[in-house]
Amino acid sequence: MKVGVVFGVSELASPKAFEKKVSDFLTKLAREFEVVGGFILSKREEFKEAKESLDFNKVDALVIYPLTGGTEMVLKEFAVYRRPTVVYGDPYNNSLAAGIELREYFRERLIPSTLVKDENGLKAALLGYDDMKEELDRFLKARFGLIGRISAWLVNERFELPYTHISLKKFYEYYCQVSDEEGWSAVESIVEKASEIKEPQKDDLIKAGRIYVAIKRILEDYRLDGFTIGCFDLVMKLKATPCLALAMFNAEGIPAACEGELNALLGMLLARRFFEKPAFMGNIADYGDDYILLAHCTAPLIGEYIIRSHFESGMGVGVDVQLPKGKASLMKIRGRKAVVAGVEVIGQEHSDSRCRTQVKLRIEDAVDFIDGTLGNHHLLVYVDSEELADLLSELGFEVMLY
């Protein structure tokens, strides 16, 4: 196992006073693991030098050892590598105090982080990360994309993970390069398989196809594993929506969220990477003592579907998907917190006064769930709720299981 190691010493202290402690620590660690680095840093400028001399992206885990207090600002920079991290603190020179602060900083960015104070704890933490190497890599190395802007009404959106931002200007450049023929070719088979087409005309379907092709090319060029798009900005500009494109991508295995919500995208990506399942991102439209109704104009095309317009605007192409009945989970992520509930899909509704896909879920104590959840958009995933909650906990989320 390759372990990157870095030490921090306050600018008020002398690094020479800690050289023996550092040497002894590295010697013991090297008996068990392949050690990389071993820098003693005091200033943020020194982080840049360390970054240029070694690629910590290639280590399996990081060990961060604040030898004194006042080292948080330089050592927090190593969060950029998104590697499982063990923070080592000892009882002297405010080392442990700095370690607790650093651990929290890493955890806020959903980097699995453990605080230890002795060699046995350090070895156990590193071996634990080694056992989960494949799972952690799938999570920590995911590439997220935001096309356009986060929708203004997502007032609780909080996202500390790195992502690639693609402007709407850049999206329009891709869109304009897609011909009508390419757009129609992309959606023709989808249209043929629909049980019914209501409002959209062929021109609407062509635009939806052009949006799909444009986004597909963006994903390839930017090497993205999933994306979210600020879809309402497209409505007035193109008189079109990406709802159908999102439905297609989610059915194909590419996590795709709307309204620019990155937290929903993260949940979708976790469902896909760890359970190989798509997720339905929905608004809570209604609830009672033992049910919740989710509704949105896009959903994975995993059941019979009707092609409709987008609800709020009456433009573009949305979908009314007959999602399968059965056991599932309802999930909401915001930052490092998550709520999960076991639910059962029991039916669909088709009101013209709601978003097009409307799914009714049976849930115990729905009122308590609504009172304790973390915001609006929720994900419906066909996985066991306890397995989902366990996974989220292992990845560093604070999980409330209903």
CA distances from 118 to 121, 125, 157, 269, 312 (A): 5, 11, 38, 36, 58
Provide the 3-class DSSP secondary structure of residue 55.
Answer: coil
How far is 164 from 226, CA to CA, in rounded Å? 10
Residue written as tokens 């379907």?
A: 205
Cβ–Cβ under 8 Å, residues 103 and 72: no
Task: Tell me what pLDDT residue 44 has.
Answer: 87
Chain centroid, CA 118 distance in Å: 33
Cβ–Cβ under 8 Å, residues 219 and 145: yes
Task: Tell me what pLDDT residue 99 has.
Answer: 98
Tell me which residue of 54, 28, 39 sits closest to 5, measured CA to CA. Answer: 39
Task: Tell me what pLDDT residue 236 has.
Answer: 85
87-111: buried (b, 16+ CB within 10 Å) or exposed (e) per residue?
A: bbbeeebbbbebbebbbebbbebbb
Task: Tell me what pLDDT residue 327 has.
Answer: 98
Among left, alpha and beta (phi > 0; psi -120 to 50; other), residue 272 is alpha
Cβ–Cβ under 8 Å, residues 373 and 339: yes
Q: What angle do CA 236, 240, 244 make, to 5 degrees?
A: 145
Task: Tell me what pLDDT residue 314 has.
Answer: 93
How far is 151 from 111, CA to CA, in rounded Å? 26
This prediction has a pTM of 0.91
Task: Tell me what pLDDT residue 53 has.
Answer: 87
Ordered domains of the chain (ranges, CATH): 2-139 (3.40.50.10940), 142-401 (no CATH)
- Average pLDDT for consecutive 10-residue bins of the chain (402 residues)? 97 92 96 95 90 90 97 96 97 97 95 96 96 91 95 91 96 98 98 97 98 98 97 90 98 97 97 96 97 98 97 96 98 96 97 97 96 96 97 93 96
